Structure 1
Amino acid sequence: MTGTRQESGGAWIAGSDKPERTRVRIGYMPLADCAPVVMASVLGFDEAYGIKFELRRELSWTGMRDRLVGGGIDAAHVLYGLLLGLQMGIGTRASQVAVLMNLNRNGQGITLSRALAAKAPDAAALARLVHGGALRPSFGHTFPTGNHAMFLYYWLAAAGIDPFEHCKLVTVPPGQMAASLAAGHLDGFCAGEPWGQRALREGAGLPAVSSEEIWPDHPGKVLGTSADFAAANPNTCRAMVAALLAAARWLDASGANREAAAEVLASPGYVNAGRDLLQHCLAGRPGQAQAADGWRGHNGLHFFAGGAASFPWLSDGMWFLTQQRRWGLLRADPAYAAIAREVSRIDLYRDAAAMAGVDLPDASMRSSTLLDGRIWDGSDPAGYAAGFVCAA
């Protein structure tokens, strides 16, 4: 790289590395895991890298998708699965996208209504009810190709429940999940926090399983943009990622930082939820000890983890493609690895990590063991997708 550094922030501010845009419109959803985007703006991490975030709150993932495709926003705190569905043209016209970084790990969950939880305290009991013909539950998720739909389907299928045959599936904006459960419109839902916790505290629901139990240390939201924006504004993308890495590192540095972030997010302009509720989601249960690798919020919510939570692993994107293939959203096996390499902009992330002083992993793939004992490492995606019993 060429240029000079700001001593305070480490940003490239001159020469060919100057950001092409100094103001960047970033969409976000009112969720606990929007914390890096909001705090990067509030604490000035963005300005340290020569840009300014203009935050735009969205109320549905469909609205977020449409604004990103239509150019109403430049980048977004967005579901990984949504972006890949857009790349593949599932349910909409295909649009080339870019994943610049992961924004968090874990922090989602499946919540059941109290009435359903009383009848089926676990997935095995739910399967017995469903197969006995006593129940066809209605489950909410947040977007058809998104993370929550894939996690919900995985949990159900691991118990022998076909989500399409045995359940009614409804797309609901995350902020409406708790109210829909309380009103009896849903028997359960999968969504990001704080909405599962709100359902619990308001007496409408009980937690069934955390997303961390389904896929330990899974990717959550990502920083996404269009491929055209990334191509035209690579330095702006590097600056965005560096600023968000700084914010993620700050969030994972201490519980006090997470509690301060919860106070900011609680305001009507951001998540508009109770401060105590958000402190629980971000900083963990009262008395929870600090983990060896940093702070873990409710349901294992991590933002940084030494940089491992932020890296755009190729195998993460490939997993969502395998699930979209499993459930018939993709009619044939895609070129899994090639698509992941095209979408996950590790080149831009690598430069941004150097700017922010963040270490890189030794490889671009990682291995995980999911709820049903299956190992996912990206080595045989077509075989992995074809190996499930509940599949379209």
Structure 2
Amino acid sequence: MTDTLLKTRRSFMRNATAMGALLCAPALLPARAAAGGMGTPEKKEVRIGFIPLTDCASIVMASALGLDEKYGIKIIPSKEANWATIRDKQLNGENDFSHILYGELVGLQVGIGGPQADMANLMTLNRNGQGISLSRKLAEAGATDLASLAALMKREPREYPFAQTFPTGTHAMWLYYWLATAGINPMQDIKVITVPPPQMIANARVGNMDGFSVGEPWNMRGILDGVSVHAASSQDIWPDHPEKVLGTTQAFAEQHPNTCKAVIAAILEASRWIDSTPENREQMADTIAARAYVNTSRAAIIDRIQGHYQDGLGKTWDDPNHMKFHDAGQVNYPYASDAAWFLTQHKRWGLLADHPDYLAVARRLNQTDLYREAAAAAGVAVPDSDLRSSTLLGGKTWDGQDPATYADSFDIHA
């Protein structure tokens, strides 16, 4: 165990009594008592693949704080190189669970972005907190936001390379949606490249792209390193959007339901702990900044996880819709409408040839029964419906009621 993990766990133990109230369950109860009747986990030690991003934090902290042991399991976080590796290690069983892009998991369910496989989404890990950055060179040419980018591209036509992190993933969908609201067709007007999150800044530094869409802390790292500027946050595109999810295969979920519930419950408690105080977020930032996890400076993580933003050009602001891991339980429920939204965008951009049965796919993917049992054990409220309504950038409302019509309603598409 690293020195950072030891310090984190010792700090947690010292504050166990106070945290028991925060977690709505007595701290450090024997696993069986704390599990709330969920049954004995079929597998005691589980590997969870993750990508070095701020939003891996609830998985890391569930392990670092010993919340996994409360539910009779041991979480082994497994740092992976890119989203393709996350996919492959999940499908071949090398990892039991994954911190995975929502759009990537949904795509696998319908056979895009990898081989078709029956997948399972156990919970949403976080909302908000991704970003779109533009290169310093582009900023010096006058493009610092969407409107000025569109004007520059019209004034100076050329090939504009933009990076996202996986073709069916969330970062690709945020980038495409954002560009299209300004009349830029991402399938025609830019060159799209795929770059793993930890490699984004190195590629930006050598001029491989004019902009990129990625999770934190890499947008902030680009500002600190002087290679990029902030153009938009993902919450500007869809306030309180779902981002990463806890994924596994249907086969694993069916064979290990108690293990799944234990992992969900432990991560729910870690999520609640992160969001409960600014001090906990600071401790989380210290922990995940370590080389074993995100491998960056604390400075690249801490401001944006507290909602303090800057654009790299002198402007600063506080964003109440910054990255959230729990938000009184509103973050974590696996809404069918959230999963279906990604399918509508896959159809919009030509990744799907035909309309699937959007909600049927979403409901097969999202393991709401397992989630509800785990949430009850962790003392987390669940909503009455698996559909929710949101208004996205440009004014369109998404509520999951008529996905095919919604998917066909955009003027700009593949």
- The verdict on a shared fold, with TM-score over 0.5 as the criterion, is yes
Pair 1:133–1:240, CA change in 2 (3 A): same
Take 1:91 and 1:173, find their aligned partners in 2: how far apart are those partners? 15
Give the superposition deviation at 1:92: 2.5
Give the superposition deviation at 1:275: 1.3
User: Deviation per CA, 1:350-371, whole angstroms, max 9, x where unpaired?
Assistant: 0000000001112111100001
From 166, 177, 194, give the equivalent of 1:154.
177
State whether structure 2 residue 283 is matched by structure 1 residue 260: yes
User: Deviation per CA, 1:250-281, whole angstroms, max 9, x where unpaired?
Assistant: 00000100100111111111111001222223
Give the superposition deviation at 1:115: 1.5
From 80, 84, 109, give the equivalent of 1:62.
84
Aligned residues: 379
Q: Is the 8 A contact 1:251 1:258 kept in 2?
A: yes
From 300, 305, 316, give the equivalent of 2:322.
300
State whether structure 2 residue 280 is matched by structure 1 residue 269: no
Give the superposition deviation at 1:123: 1.5
Q: Is the 8 A contact 1:9 1:49 kept in 2?
A: no
State whether structure 2 residue 367 is matched by structure 1 residue 349: no
Give the superposition deviation at 1:297: 7.9
From 354, 372, 388, give the equivalent of 1:332.
354
Q: Which amino acid aligns with 1:115?
A: K
Q: Is the 8 A contact 2:176 2:186 kept in 1?
A: yes
Structure 2 spans left out of the alignment, 5+ residues: 1-24, 310-317
Give the structure 2 partner of residue 27 of structure 1: 49
Partner SS state of residue 116, structure 1: helix
Give the structure 2 partner of residue 291 of structure 1: none
Q: Is the 8 A contact 1:10 1:356 kept in 2?
A: no
Alpha carbon RMSD of aligned pairs, Å? 1.8
Pairing 1:1-392 to 2, within 5 Å after superposition: 8-9=28-29, 11-12=31-32, 17-118=39-140, 119-132=142-155, 134-285=157-308, 300-392=322-414
Partner SS state of residue 328, structure 2: helix
Q: Is the 8 A contact 2:240 2:321 kept in 1?
A: no
TM-score (norm 2): 0.88
Sequence identity percentage: 50
Take 1:321 and 1:343, find their aligned partners in 2: how far apart are those partners? 12
Q: Is the 8 A contact 1:245 1:356 kept in 2?
A: yes
User: Deviation per CA, 1:161-204, whole angstroms, max 9, x where unpaired?
Assistant: 00010000000000111111111001100000000000001110
Q: Which amino acid aligns with 1:375?
A: T
Take 2:28 and 2:145, find their aligned partners in 1: how far apart are those partners? 52
Take 2:116 and 2:32, find their aligned partners in 1: how far apart are those partners? 34
Pair 1:31–1:309, CA change in 2 (3 A): same
Q: Is the 8 A contact 2:132 2:175 kept in 1?
A: yes
Structure 1 spans left out of the alignment, 5+ residues: 287-295
Give the superposition deviation at 1:11: 4.8
Q: Is the 8 A contact 2:104 2:113 kept in 1?
A: no
Q: Which amino acid aligns with 1:323?
A: Q
TM-score (norm 1): 0.93
Partner SS state of residue 169, structure 1: strand
